[in-house]
Structure 1
């Protein structure tokens, strides 16, 4: 049993993580052994996140103290939270992938940019393309009109060259 000071330290750590994370996914890890949880932690660390087993009471208090409302229904039974600090989609994608591998890992809900979301929204978040793919699509959308404009200019320049060549041939024919 943690001492009062240890609980305060855990509470402060939870408050810091909940307030600074871009996204968090609350999971039920019941049935996972230590080796499986270690594998989950490693995968999340590779994705730029963190997986932490939490006490529901301390998480409830931390959420209340930072002004995060609506988290209480998801804090029942064993709870572990996957935090994402850089990319809001990364923890949802990693947990969704891990849930397919470990059937016992169940998504309860989540937090996205300071707003509580349910398990269905976490799954939709996990289905989003990666940030790089989305940026590529935006860039492609911006480049398409430029390519069309360049092609139109090239066609106009080619026509101008043909006209000038025809004029040159015509003048050369008259002079000869």
Structure 2
């Protein structure tokens, strides 16, 4: 990779990290191409991104972002995951680390806050933004269905009373 390619890579990564709410720094020694591809696919499905980078290039890309304080985590064979959703990258990385011994979560950053391994794991247990939206929508929708049911009940009761009178008149 020549200097211009490195500069372009750093600029692109910096732009993506500027927009991210969360980064997760991982160690991935000995992973096969198929495993990394599978992890990238899972990240994309969750709305996150994953990139294996050189530590020096990652440090340059972190400059000027809210995640500058994570620079010390980049030692050895590292990779970085990030997402706009403050939970997505943590969920996928933690789940994948449990299933694959070659992949470990080192730490991360949520905004300007530095996270250790336990912090990333705790964050991964929280519901994602989409899950929160769905549950909120469910809570808002439930009273509306209850109101509709209550409004329909008096009409149904009147119909049952009229039916009872009709049967009584037929019997008489």
Q: Separation in 2 of the partners of 1:66 and 1:134?
A: 27
Deviation at 1:24, TM superposition (A): 1.6
Q: Deviations over 1:43-83 (max 9, x none)?
A: 11111121100111111122223364321221101111112
Q: Separation in 2 of the partners of 1:84 and 1:67?
A: 13
- Name the counterpart of 1:60: 59
- Name the counterpart of 2:95: 97
- Name the counterpart of 1:157: none
Q: Separation in 2 of the partners of 1:11 and 1:4?
A: 10
DSSP-derived class of the 2:49 partner: strand
Change (3 A) 1:70 1:138: same
Q: Which has the larger radius of gyration?
A: 1
Q: Which moved more, 1:131-140 or 1:38-47?
A: 131-140
Give the aligned length.
163
Q: CA RMSD in A?
A: 3.1
Q: 1:128 aligns with which of 126, 129, 149?
A: 126
Where structure 1 has 5 or more consecutive residues not aligned to the other structure, the ranges are 150-176
- Name the counterpart of 2:166: none
Structure 1 segments (4+ residues) deviating >4 Å: 136-149
Instruction: Determine whether 1:11 maps to 2:10.
Output: yes
Where structure 2 has 5 or more consecutive residues not aligned to the other structure, the ranges are 148-172
Say if 1:21 and 1:84, in contact at 8 Å, map to a contact too: yes
Q: Separation in 1 of the partners of 2:81 and 2:87?
A: 11
Q: Deviations over 1:67-112 (max 9, x none)?
A: 6432122110111111213x22111111111112112110011122
TM-score, normalisation: structure 1:
0.73
TM-score, normalisation: structure 2:
0.74
Say if 1:69 and 1:116, in contact at 8 Å, map to a contact too: no
Q: 2:111 aligns with which of 110, 113, 132?
A: 113
Say if 1:24 and 1:110, in contact at 8 Å, map to a contact too: yes
- Name the counterpart of 1:32: 31
Deviation at 1:127, TM superposition (A): 0.5
DSSP-derived class of the 2:50 partner: strand
